[in-house]
DNA sequence: ATCTGTTAGTTAACGTAGTTAAGTAACATA
DNA sequence: TATGTTACTTAACTACGTTAACTAACAGAT
């Protein structure tokens, strides 16, 4: 009975068409500037057809975020093999920055938009599991660094250190997103700023190598 | 002859009423969630009356931002007397954090809301003047540090250093604002994280004291 | 072969938003 | 007393996200 399978396949195809169009428009013009009508026009459907496949406009963005977040987690897995915790920490930061730069709209949605708490069971990610939970992965790396005595002796709180590194890196990505086109500041490229922040922060947090 | 003066005074009064209402609503509900109609209702005028005093909704926000930027710059003036540029830099960071923590909603619309480019001549603040332009003040402090040889020798770009310090500090304030109630991360107090980031970053950017 | 229910769309319309147009009452000035 | 400006008002326009109501296509049951 291949009929339901074909139906399901066709359904996924139009879903993908909608997502592709939305991704392209969100990326070029930003979430708010893109209208449902424009997405619909791009795929040559009526605007309301989208609502048959997605609950609302935000569901489109959320779907795109899920996809990209999974990609980030996968990317993190290649970093997991680095033995040295400090070098691994550095690579986590760089990967995070690259994610933010290549998916600015998803980044905005995920990390720069205050939102009501999501029901935890609604998330597909297992909290605390470093293979799925990116924060847990970061924290485990930091914890290893603490255990191996790589951080300055007064710094023993893995959560505090994790948050500080995350926050500083987040600032490098997010501030230019909000302020890049205000014409006030002559912004330096984010990539270079990010490397500088990560390296300087690591230098300032770690113990001197003997 | 006092007629035009009285007129002008009345004009300023209603302008202030509009701004006060907008500030309160923006701060409590966020820029997008506030409508011109609600602002008008609060001051008991018709919605279109606002357009006699301000070009559009964004002009309201811009005016409020100018005011708060000026307040921040004034706050910075008390720091300007510190002679040592590195200690001054530290105090700038701490003052900035305090500003963000005591005015979280203003902080949100000043630094966490992406905006269309503003025409620079429309701003009341004189760009590049350290007494009015907070970024210029930060940059001048960094520049002094560079000139006095306090930073590592490869770090000679005052803009890059200014942005890196600003961005990292911004991250400490802004990430918890978006993520504090997601229940995923056990957040440490912002004050302590901020001090750690500022101190570690300064340690990582400066030359060792002889 | 025909009836029925579901699927995947359509068009029309609703409510709300920012904003503009057109009208008006108050009032200073000529 | 006539005129022009100021400071509004009401009505309306356009655009948005979204919902309601309708419909054509079609698989499965009678």
Q: What is the mean pLDDT of residues A136-155?
A: 98
Pairwise CA distance, residues A90 & A102, whole Å: 19
Report pLDDT digits (tens) over B109-149.
Answer: 789 987 766 655 667 778 888 888 899 999 999 999 999 99
The whole-number average pLDDT for the span A140-168 is 98
SS3 A130: coil
The C1' atom of D28 and the CA atom of A6 lie apart, in whole Å, by: 16
- CA torsion, ordered A35, A41, A43, A44, to nearest 10 deg: 150
Determine the pLDDT at residue B74.
85
Q: Report the Cα–Cα distance between both ends of chain A, in Å, rounded.
A: 69
The mean of the pLDDT values for chain A is 92
Chain A residue numbers with beta carbons less than 8 Å from the beta carbon of B155 are: 196
Cβ proximity of B189 and A160 under 8 Å = no
DSSP for A34-96, written as a single string: --HHHHHHHHTS-GGGHHHH-SSHHHHHHHHHHHHHHHHHHHHHHHTT---HHHHHHHHHHHH
Q: Please check whether residue A91 is in contact with residue A141, taking contact to mean a CB–CB distance below 8 angstroms.
A: no
- Which residue, chain included where needed, has tokens 């340690």? B203
User: Where does the pLDDT of residue B56 fall: very low under 50, low under 70, confident under 90, or very high at 90 and above?
Assistant: very high
pLDDT at B171 over 90: yes
**Six token digits for residue A95:** 């990967």
3-state secondary structure of A206: strand
- Determine whether the distance from the CB of B13 to the nearest atom of strand D is below 7 Å: no
Searching chain A, which residue's CA lies closest to the CA of residue B195?
A164
Number of H helices and E strands in chain A, helices first, is 9, 0
| Distance of B46 CA from D5 C1′ (whole Å) | 21
What is residue A123's DSSP assignment? -
Find tokens 């035009």 and name the residue: B4
Q: A63-97: buried (b, 16+ CB within 10 Å) or exposed (e) per residue?
A: bbbeebbeebbebbeebeeeeebbebbbbbbbbbb
Query: Of B91, B77, B61, B56, whose CA–CA distance to A178 is shortest?
Result: B61
At A2 the pLDDT is 73
Q: What is the pLDDT of residue B126?
A: 84
Sequence-ordered list of residues with C-beta below 8 angstroms from that of A189, at least 6 positions apart, any chain: none
What percent of chain A is predicted at pLDDT more than 90? 72
Whether the CB of B49 is less than 7 Å away from nucleic strand D comes out as yes
| Structure letter (DSSP) for residue B151 | B
3-state secondary structure of B206: strand
What pLDDT shows up at residue A176? 94
Choose the closest CB to B120 out of A167, A183, A192.
Answer: A183
The C-alpha atoms of residue B44 and residue B127 are separated, in whole angstroms, by 36
Confidence of residue B37 (pLDDT cuts 50, 70, 90): very high
Question: Distance between CA atoms of B198 and B178, rounded to whole angstroms?
Answer: 21
Confidence bin at A106 (pLDDT 50/70/90): confident
Q: How many CB atoms lie within 10 A of CB B99?
A: 20
Q: Which residues pair with B151 in a beta bridge?
A: B206
**Chain A residues within an 8 Å CB radius of B185:** 135, 159, 163
The residue lying closest to nucleotide D6, measuring its CA against C1', is B7
B111 contacts A178? CB cut-off 8 A = yes
Q: What is the pLDDT of residue A136?
A: 94
Whole-number Å distance between alpha carbons of B67 and B131: 14
pLDDT bin (cut points 50, 70, 90) of residue A1 is low
Torsion angles phi and psi, residue A206, rounded to 5? -90, 160
Of B159, B182, B204, the CB nearest to A188: B159
pTM of the model as a whole: 0.88
Q: pLDDT tens digit string along B85-103?
A: 999 999 999 999 999 998 8
Q: Do A187 and B163 touch (CB under 8 A)?
A: yes
């Amino acid at each position: 009975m291949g009929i339901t399978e074909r139906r399901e396949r066709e359904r996924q195809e139009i879903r993908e068409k909608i997502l592709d169009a939305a991704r392209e428009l969100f990326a070029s013009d930003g979430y708010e500037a893109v209208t449902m009508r424009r997405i619909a026009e791009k795929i040559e459907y009526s605007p309301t057809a989208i609502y048959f496949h997605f609950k609302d406009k935000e569901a489109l963005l959320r779907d795109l975020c899920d996809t990209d977040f999974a990609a980030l987690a996968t990317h993190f897995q290649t970093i997991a093999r680095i033995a040295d915790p400090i070098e691994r920490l550095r690579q986590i930061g760089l990967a995070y920055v690259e994610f933010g730069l290549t998916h600015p709209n998803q980044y905005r949605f995920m990390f720069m938009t205050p939102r009501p708490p999501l029901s935890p069971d609604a998330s597909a990610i297992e909290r605390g599991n470093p293979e799925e939970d990116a924060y847990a992965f970061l924290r485990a790396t930091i914890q290893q660094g603490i255990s191996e005595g790589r951080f300055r002796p007064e710094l023993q709180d893995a959560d505090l250190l994790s948050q500080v590194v995350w926050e500083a890196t987040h600032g490098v990505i997010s501030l230019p997103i909000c302020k890049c086109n205000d014409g006030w500041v002559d912004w330096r490229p984010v990539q270079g700023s990010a490397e500088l922040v990560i390296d300087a922060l690591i230098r300032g947090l770690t113990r001197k190598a003997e």
